[in-house]
């Protein structure tokens, strides 16, 4: 049975001074049996967040990693530098693709470094509005998955616990809303491509998250789809009460899936 995962992407919010308090508040408010909880703060807040969530069951992730392990790369952070600070990493987020010009080929190299370093990757894929309106959504996402995974060992991807987050960029901050059926259809399409480029076993076990402006009010619709296994949460993850409601819904989903699996 695939795990139910709620990952918080704090983006460029919090300072080291206030990150610990926020992480502790989220941990206290969002206890969820059988839900994998991850907080991904800015690099400067990794240490206070790690210390604040120790013993709570919450895991810590980084928001990015460099494609080399060391070198003359001013301002960058390598996978080896994250040892002891994070066990997860977000790769290929739509904002990195948009603002830093990250390509699938570059993300593929970053993913390789994550595998080598024992970081559990959340690989982000998703289409923009013009692709959705032109009927190219699945083709675009399929190409992203192929480009990011091609050449990587299927056993290594399985061992690291690869997660893919579907980000419908057209539904983030635009006023347009994706539906559960949209996320479910894309999750199925993602698994078909993973089965092709990696292995059917990896595809079957692959958690696929929804990552399009998730809120406490919208999460139930997405978790109601059997092919959607959780959420990559942005702005709502900075609000302990919102996170508590999201994790609570995820816990209900996890319990129901466990009961169905046992039956």
Beta pairing partners, 171: none
CA pair distance 57, 33, nearest whole angstrom: 10
Q: Return the structure tokens found at 185.
A: 């259809």
CA pair distance 63, 89, nearest whole angstrom: 6
167 classed as catalytic: yes
State the DSSP H helix or E strand holding residue 120, giving kind and residue range, or none if neither: strand 120-125
CA pair distance 111, 105, nearest whole angstrom: 10
How many helices (DSSP H) and strands (DSSP E) are in the chain?
Answer: 11, 8
CA pair distance 32, 140, nearest whole angstrom: 34
Q: Which residue has the tokens 């190409």?
A: 143
CA pair distance 136, 63, nearest whole angstrom: 28
CA pair distance 211, 246, nearest whole angstrom: 13
Residue from 127, 167, 225, 242 carrying the catalytic annotation: 167
Residue from 67, 93, 102, 225 carrying the catalytic annotation: 93
Q: Return the structure tokens found at 146.
A: 């192929």
User: Active-site residues: which are they?
Assistant: 93, 167
């Amino acid at each position: 049975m695939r795990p139910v995962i709620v990952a918080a992407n704090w983006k460029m919010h919090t300072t080291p001074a206030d990150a610990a308090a926020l992480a502790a508040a989220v941990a206290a408010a969002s206890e969820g049996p059988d839900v994998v909880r991850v907080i991904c703060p800015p690099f400067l807040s990794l240490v206070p967040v790690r210390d604040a969530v120790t013993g709570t069951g919450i895991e810590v992730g980084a928001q990015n990693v460099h494609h080399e392990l060391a070198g003359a790369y001013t301002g960058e952070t390598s996978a080896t530098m994250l040892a002891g600070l994070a066990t997860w990493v977000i790769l290929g987020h739509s904002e990195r693709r948009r603002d830093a010009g990250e390509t699938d080929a570059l993300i593929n190299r970053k993913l390789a470094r994550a595998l080598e370093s024992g970081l559990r990757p959340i690989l982000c894929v998703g289409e923009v509005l013009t692709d959705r309106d032109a009927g190219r959504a699945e083709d675009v996402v399929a190409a992203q998955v192929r480009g990011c995974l091609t050449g990587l060992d299927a056993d290594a991807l399985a061992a690291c616990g690869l997660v893919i987050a579907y980000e419908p960029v057209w539904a983030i901050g635009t006023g347009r809303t994706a539906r559960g059926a949209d996320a479910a259809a894309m999750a199925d399409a993602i698994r078909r491509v993973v089965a092709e480029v990696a292995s059917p076993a990896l595809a079957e076990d692959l958690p696929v998250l929804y990552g399009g402006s998730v809120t406490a009010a919208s999460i139930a619709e997405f978790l109601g789809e059997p092919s959607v296994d959780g959420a990559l949460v942005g702005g709502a993850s900075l609000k302990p009460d919102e996170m508590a409601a999201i994790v609570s819904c995820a816990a209900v989903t996890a319990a129901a899936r466990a009961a169905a699996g046992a039956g």
